[in-house]
A and B are shown apart, each in its own frame.
Chain A
C-alpha cells in the first residue's frame, strides 16, 4: 500500500524503508497505547473496589475529598 509523506514541504510516496520504519513504529505505539489503556482500566477497577467497600459513589468520594 502506498503511504504518503510530506518531506520538508514536498508530498511524495514513502520509500520502502520509510514504510517499514513507520509500520514498525505504529506497532510499537499500539503496544504503548494498549499498556496505557490497561493501566487506566486497572486504576479504575481498583478505585471502584474501594468505593464499593466504602459503599459510596465517586461523586460522594469527591465531596469527601473536596
Chain B
C-alpha cells in the first residue's frame, strides 16, 4: 500500500536527502507497516531506535499501536462488542387475536431463546405456547410443573401430556400481565425445555406470580412459536431474542 514503509530512517548531519526520503517523512506522521513482523524489523540498527511513545499503524489488523517502552499495545479501534442478546423477532403488537404466530425465528445461529410478552387476556383461559415447524403447531406432549403464589397461599402442580405449554396466568381483561419465557434448543431434533416467570394481576392490581418449568418431549426441530389463550383472545406485544453462543 502507498503508505507502507519498511524502515524508519535516521538521518545524519549534512546528509543529502532524496525526494523519496523527504516524501516518506512528510507523508507518514505515523509509520505504516504491513505486519507486526515488518514493524519490528523497521527499528534499531541503522534505523531509528525503538523508544517509548512510538506510534504505528498495522495494515494486517487495521489497528493503531503505541510502544510503551517494553511492548507494543493497541490504541484502537476497540474490538467489536458482541451482543449477548439479538432480537430475532421484532416487538410485535397483537390486538384481540385468538392466536399469534412467529415462524422462522429458531435457527442454528442460536441455541437458546428468550421470549418477552406483555399481555391481557379477554377471558379466564391461560396464555399458552406451542412450538411450530414449517407453519404447523405441535399440539401434543407438553409437560409442565408450576409453583404459584397468591397472597399467603402457595400452590404447585404438575400436568403432563398436554396440548400446550401454559406459562401465563389469565387477566380476564384486567391489568396487563408480563411473561418471561426461555426456550432451550427448540431448533434441535430433541426434547425442548422451557423456563418461565409470570407476573399477573387477575383481580385488579393484586399481583400473583407463577414460576413454571416444563418441556415438549417430542424430538422434533422447530422453527417457530404460537402464542394463544386457552379461551377468548389476547392483546399485547411480544418479542423474541436469541442468546449469543460466543463471547
Contacts and interface: CB of A to CB of B under 8 A. Distances in A.
Whether A and B are associated in the same complex: the answer reads: yes
Interface of A: 3-9, 11, 14, 18, 22, 25-26, 28-30, 32-33, 36, 40
B202 to A, nearest CB: 15
Q: What are the 9 tightest A-B residue pairs by CB atom distance, in nearest-first order?
A: A6-B100, A6-B94, A4-B97, A29-B230, A6-B97, A3-B98, A5-B99, A28-B163, A9-B92
Q: Which size bracket describes the interface of B in this complex?
A: 20 to 34
A32 B162 CA distance: 7
Nearest to A22: B98
A62 B187 CA distance: 44
Nearest to B103: A8
A4 B163 contact: no
19 contacts: A3-B98, A4-B95, A4-B96, A6-B92, A6-B94, A8-B102, A9-B92, A14-B99, A22-B99, A25-B163, A25-B164, A26-B125, A28-B139, A29-B128, A29-B163, A29-B231, A30-B230, A30-B231, A33-B230
Given A11-B95, A26-B231, 10 more contacts: A3-B98, A4-B96, A4-B98, A5-B101, A6-B95, A14-B98, A14-B99, A22-B228, A28-B163, A30-B231
A36 to B, nearest CB: 6
Nearest to B230: A29
Interface of A is mostly: helix
Interface in B161-191: 162-164
Contacts of B228: 22
A11 B97 CA distance: 8
B63 to A, nearest CB: 42
Nearest to B142: A32
B93 to A, nearest CB: 8
A43 B77 CA distance: 65
Contacts of B90: 9
Nearest to A3: B98
A44 B125 CA distance: 22
B192 interface: no
Most B-side CB within 10 Å, residue of A6, A8, A30, A40 = A6
Contacts of A36: 157, 159
B209 interface: no
B163 A32 contact: yes
Interface string B59-77: 0000000000000000000
Contacts of A5: 97-101
Interface string B101-117: 11100000000000000
B134 to A, nearest CB: 13
B230 A26 contact: yes
B233 interface: yes
